[in-house]
Structure 1
């Protein structure tokens, strides 16, 4: 029973960071070094040929920590991912850097780090990104401002409000420009900042909110939607007694991409998830993910669209944890979007996807 409760609590970490059962490589004289990994054989089944097929990958991470003084700790984390669907002769193994940051922690005064990390909006957005395969994609997008993983992030975090209020955490984040006009060679974001706060109320119940605002790059602003990109989110979750429930609501402005790299002037987003961990290792999961674009205000094809659903699916899935290192999972993304002129012109898929996978993690 205790082992399964531990699995339920650690599942989001195992799936996202692959570090729940990290192997300790070194621990001496205040210096620690852990190695973690996740090897996943994953196959998608869908009428959408862009999604159907092999989706296997491997992730490796390394986390270091050093005790500088009694109150000061230095730390760093790096994680990479290699895809397994490319041929050996293809010359492209899909190598990506998911995380790469280093920082320093000053006791109850908090921590500061810099590098490639999670954006501040993901402090709340991550609460529903716990599905067996899908989820966390109504407004959370990689390398899109501070909605999910992104680069050039400087983050200050404080736990338990300087040690004075148990469960009350807050964070402030600054993101430097990632612009094709500089060394980054891509139009991802201008300078921006954000903040978040979460409060553990006890008995498994937590609430949270986050906000971020950024300049848009010169090339981004050529769509005449505006010079700023803003996002706000709020959420609530319950995580106790083998039951996990979470709900988030978010709005973004001139921030989110949809279809073939169109930008929504405004989105309204809802994500709901419910999971239960049985003693035998089975963890069923049910979720709804929804995003509606408002005031889109630009032509797609020969027509101007203003209010359209961008994401709308019900997710039914399950994990089966054989133990803390090995999991089998199935996830069925039931796409609720109807095929239309808008989805076809914008390049939005309306097909269902089934994911079947086995995962080994350490």
Structure 2
């Protein structure tokens, strides 16, 4: 999960105001904003395996007034990785977001497409490090992050009855895996039909709480993996508490999942070479983050992240992620910023981490980005 304070906008913000976007058209109830980021990012590892993680993102957010009670909207965002040769077949370019919907005044909004899962309503509160975020859950992992085939209903203020109380209900249709990439997506990115819900309440004084629950059917291929064959459902529960006032930001998040959290490097049978991969039958994640904004535009960040897998076949309980993150972001202005992010890995190597390909590297990330 590589978060940006401006560009990774939770989709519900589309109908509440566009942050970090340039307005290019606004007339007769029709509005179109564009946003983008170009980031030069490099990762330095103590193992000596460094990497260029530079990327560019571009997208638009649009809305149109259908009648006094209805507003249509849509969002699309595309990303291209920049650390590849032009003819490199492994170059990664992909659609991050793409959905369309209608907002019905105080009755809420409904949209469909590639969107954020409702579990991320909770996870987003601690996903704020400059670069090396707590990536326990990644894209196309059921309803935990960005995913396809998502139908989402959101209501702010509970139909205008309770200020500060927001709810969301979501359904995800099946994204099946195939024996080959051409027949369907890889087994780790597949999902059966699923649903989820979230609720958030603003207590005032800068304090708010968010909770979410998701449940999805697992595919046949996922249930027959050597690791994570413990059930038909992939379920998750998460809760977070946030304090945000003036220049302070503090948040803590805890989640518990079953048959949902991935580990290891998924490869074909010929490529495995004794490596293991699959889903944790049970996993728990704790994330804590604290930030402070200085007048000069400097924001230091401190975070702690730990994810444990439980009941892993042949290995029992294992740490999947455990690190302290120290970061500093400096904003030259609203469009230009730079950062340094230091991940202090606390994992201890053993047979499991070696076979699962879980690295114990410390990482330093340096970046410079332009955004609009």
Give the structure-2-normalised TM-score.
Answer: 0.89
Within 2, Cα distance between the matches of 1:109 and 1:253?
Answer: 33
Are the counterparts in 2 of residues 262 and 346 from structure 1 also a CA contact under 8 Å? no
Is residue 2:245 matched to residue 1:234?
no
* Counterpart for residue 260 of structure 2: 255
Q: Secondary structure at the match of 1:219?
A: helix
Give yes or no for the alignment of 1:331 onto 2:341. yes
Q: Show the counterpart of 2:366.
A: 356
Give the superposition deviation at 1:131. 0.6
User: How much does 1:93 deviate?
Assistant: 3.8
Corresponding residue of 2:283? 267
Kindly tell me the number of residue pairs found equivalent between the two proteins.
344
Aligned partners of 1:114 and 1:257: how far apart in 2?
26
2:14 maps to: none
Helix, strand or coil: the match of 1:344? helix
Counterpart in the other structure of 1:194: 196
Residue number in structure 2 paired with 1:34: 33
CA separation in 1, counterparts of 2:341 and 2:19? Answer: 22
Render the CA deviation track for 1:43-63: whole Å, top value 9, x for unaligned.
00003566x221100000111
Q: Distance in 2 between matches of 1:126 and 1:23?
A: 24
CA distance in 1, matches of 2:186, 2:52: 28
Q: What SS class does the counterpart of residue 166 from structure 1 fall into?
A: coil
Distance 2:333 2:120 in 1: 28
**Deviation readout 1:240-279 (Å, 9 max, x if unpaired):** 1110000000000000101223210000110000000000
Match of 1:218 among 217, 220, 226: 220
Corresponding residue of 2:6: 14
Structure 2 counterpart of 1:322: 332
For residue 89 of structure 1, what is the aligned residue in structure 2? Answer: 87
| SS in structure 2 at match of 1:14 | coil
How far apart are the structure 1 equivalents of 2:176 and 2:335? 40
RMSD: 1.7
User: Take 2:204 and 2:86, find their aligned partners in 1: how far apart are those partners?
Assistant: 51
Counterpart position of 1:3: none
**Alignment deviations for residues 264-311 of structure 1 (CA, whole Å, 9 cap, x no partner):** 000011000000000000000000011001111x2xxxxx10011110
Q: Secondary structure at the match of 2:192?
A: coil
Tell me whether 1:171 sits opposite 2:168 in the alignment.
yes
Structure 1 residue 186: Cα displacement: 3.5
Give structure 1 regions of 4+ aligned residues with deviation exceeding 4 angstroms. Answer: 181-184
Equivalent position of 1:136 in the other structure? 134
Distance in 1 separating the partners of 2:186 and 2:264: 19
Residues 94 and 12 (structure 1 numbering): CA distance in 2 closer, same or farther, change over 3 Å? closer
- 1:305-326 per-residue CA deviation (whole Å, 9 max, x = no partner) reads 0011110000001100111111
TM-score between the two structures when normalised by the length of structure 1: 0.92
Q: Which residue, out of 77, 80, 89, partners 2:78? A: 80
In structure 2, the gaps of 5 or more residues are 11-17, 266-276
Task: Render the CA deviation track for 1:135-192: whole Å, top value 9, x for unaligned.
Answer: 2323x22101011111110000000111111110000000010112596434311000
Q: 1:46 to 1:135 in 2, by over 3 A?
A: same
**Matched position secondary structure for 2:289:** strand
* In structure 2, C-alpha distance between the alignment counterparts of 1:159 and 1:205, rounded to whole Å: 17
Q: Which runs of 5+ in 1 are unaligned?
A: 1-10, 299-303
Where 1:357 maps in the other structure, the secondary structure is strand
The structure-2 alpha-carbon separation of the partners of 1:179 and 1:103, relative to structure 1 and needing over 3 Å to count, comes to same
Asked whether the 8 Å contact 1:315–1:331 carries over to 2, the reply is yes
Q: For 1:126, which of 104, 124, 127 is the aligned residue?
A: 124
Change (3 A) 1:77 1:48: farther
State the secondary structure of the residue aligned to 2:67: coil
